[in-house]
Structure 1
Amino acid sequence: MHRFALPFAALFLLPACQEAAAPAAQEEALSPVAANEIALADERRVLDLEGGVNFRDLGGYMTGDGRVTKWETVYRSGSPADLTEADFEELKRRGIRTVCDFRTNEERQSEPNRFAAANSEIEYWTRDYAMDAGDLMSALGGDDAGPEKSRAAMIGFYRELPGQHVESYRQMFRYLAEGRTPLAFNCSAGKDRAGMGAALLLTLLGVPRETVVADYALSDDIVDYRAELEESAAANPSYAALAQLPWETVEPLVASDPAYIESAFAALEERYGSVDDFIEQELGVTGQMKAKIVAHLTTAS
């Protein structure tokens, strides 16, 4: 079980020692951002799976209007390839009925989703596509290669990420509007394509931007991506090549830097006016669909 130290905001939930301080403490505890700082550290956040990668529950977050996202309703994760039989049983217990796999054809072929394949009752959605990571890979070479160049490349990559995966996010929102939950969506590392999907969903639900960014950045606290890279190098030529490079140069590519998701939001706001407008115009989420998603995925606090 992954566990985190409670953030400073948790102190606001402690009984006030002085009567005069009580109203301020109660007000702080009820604010969505403060409540969500505590929710981020909830032990239910990260699933205790033997072979799960960054497998997380999106429940427990307070929205701007005081509703709370439901637990055991929507999950985000990385590759499901190493899930064990015990993990299968836990996911069955949670009743997952829909899986959106955002990975490429090649990724799914090399690391199949055995959980979805073994459960015929699960709606397993994928799409046929290949991903070009040429710009990111080119950032790793040249005389100026280093962490600054790699980080700049990732910021640029994120500016295009939502538009590159419109079809995936559109389908996820369709399923959610239809109430096909519990639903899990994944990519390979569970931080980029899945991280963007989670950010879009939480934004639609009205979760404060600070929390959306914090949920995105949580991957760095959950996964040791350096160890994952080294363990995968023997079987994956791309990982093997990365493992030979200085870690300082590679690290920005596997990080969940808040600047990355912020750059995606900034690009959407420049092009569409707001993230919500992108969701409506490009992902096809109508006002009626949004109301259904909010009803399916949140509850009164």
Structure 2
Amino acid sequence: MENKRLLDVKNGYNFRDLGGYRTKDGRKIKWNKLVRSGELSDLSKDDITYLAKYGVKYDVDLRSDLERKNASDKLIPDVDFIPNPVFNTGHDKTDKEYAKQYSINPTLGEDNMILSYQSMVTEDSAKNAFRNLFDTLLKNDSDNSSVLFHCAQGKDRTGLSAAFVLFALGVDEETIKKDYLMSKEQMKPYVQLKINQYSNYGMNNILKKNLENLYSVDEKYFDAAMDTIKKEYGNMNNFLHEFIELTDDEINKLRTIYLDK
């Protein structure tokens, strides 16, 4: 199958392969091994066939129990489905309630996103989820299988998951941030979809701005997580060892599995 960043999934958002990125020691991430994406609830039969042929063997769902219940993944044949919530709270209001909440304070969306990113590098539930993700990655030692990990839109919980995986594999922070920010372009159609959806409850400039902040990505969000990591752990290497509890042997195994020699 052709090596390319954006996957040919028609009924989903933000399906991307992490292959091809170079590490600081000059190696390169293998293609068809690491896939990041949005939810799989709207996949067509053709999409499911495509992902099965792509080699997906693990589907790690980072969404909450309620999110999974409301929009269950379409299951890919012979794939190990792993529910793995980063947070198991929130997402419990109606669209009308959210529209009202985000129509008053123009910075609420951005403020909540920054708080969420800080929580993802401090909360126990996030710690457990990232550890579980890496445990799955460590099992994926077949040459012809890939791990797909995702949340709802594939940009925040998935974005930081991808960042931590890339850091563990030895990719530099500038490249990692660029991969994270690719979601900004990928999510434009989804942002417009949400604006149209919430217009049913009355739209003003404050609500529109908050929706743009909630359903896209921003350097501020990424930096909020990185700054918190540096404050709490000193550097990313310490974070991977102390928060996610990766050992040197596990990091070396990850690099053996996912990097070209």
Q: What TM-score bracket applies, with the shorter chain setting the length?
A: 0.7 to 0.9
Q: Is the contact between residue 214 and residue 258 of structure 1 (CA under 8 Å) also seen in structure 2?
A: no
User: What does 1:161-176 align with in structure 2 at a 5 Å threshold?
Assistant: 161-164=120-123, 165-176=126-137
User: What does 1:44-55 align with in structure 2 at a 5 Å threshold?
Assistant: 44-55=4-15
- 1:95-149 per-residue CA deviation (whole Å, 9 max, x = no partner) reads 1111110011111111111124xx2x32111146622379xx798354xx11x45
> 3-state SS of the aligned residue for 1:67?
coil
Q: Is the contact between residue 102 and residue 207 of structure 2 (CA under 8 Å) also seen in structure 1?
A: no
Q: Is the contact between residue 139 and residue 153 of structure 1 (CA under 8 Å) also seen in structure 2?
A: no
Q: Is the contact between residue 179 and residue 293 of structure 1 (CA under 8 Å) also seen in structure 2?
A: no
- 1:11-62 per-residue CA deviation (whole Å, 9 max, x = no partner) reads xxxxxxxxxxxxxxxxxxxxxxxxxxxxxxx971111111121111001101
Q: Using the alignment, how far apart are the partners of 2:40 and 2:174 within structure 1?
A: 28
Residue in structure 1 matched with residue 177 of structure 2 by the alignment: 213
Change (3 A) 1:242 1:50: farther
Q: Name the TM-score, length of structure 1 as normaliser.
A: 0.74
> 3-state SS of the aligned residue for 1:114?
coil
- Higher RCO (C-alpha 8 Å, min separation 6): 2
> 3-state SS of the aligned residue for 2:28?
strand
Q: Using the alignment, how far apart are the partners of 1:96 and 1:84 within structure 2?
A: 16
Identical counterparts, % of pairs:
26
Q: Using the alignment, how far apart are the partners of 2:176 and 2:199 within structure 1?
A: 29
Deviation, 1:246, is 2.9
Q: Is the contact between residue 140 and residue 147 of structure 2 (CA under 8 Å) also seen in structure 1?
A: no
1:124 aligns with 2:81: yes
Change (3 A) 1:52 1:132: closer
- The letter of the residue matching 2:83 is T
Deviation, 1:155, is 2.0
Q: Using the alignment, how far apart are the partners of 1:242 and 1:61 within structure 2?
A: 44
Deviation, 1:227, is 2.6
Bigger radius of gyration among the two: 1
Residue in structure 2 matched with residue 89 of structure 1 by the alignment: 49
Residue in structure 1 matched with residue 138 of structure 2 by the alignment: 177
Q: Is the contact between residue 60 and residue 148 of structure 2 (CA under 8 Å) also seen in structure 1?
A: yes
**Pairing partner for 1:77 from 25, 37, 62:** 37
Change (3 A) 1:206 1:139: farther
Residue in structure 2 matched with residue 222 of structure 1 by the alignment: 186
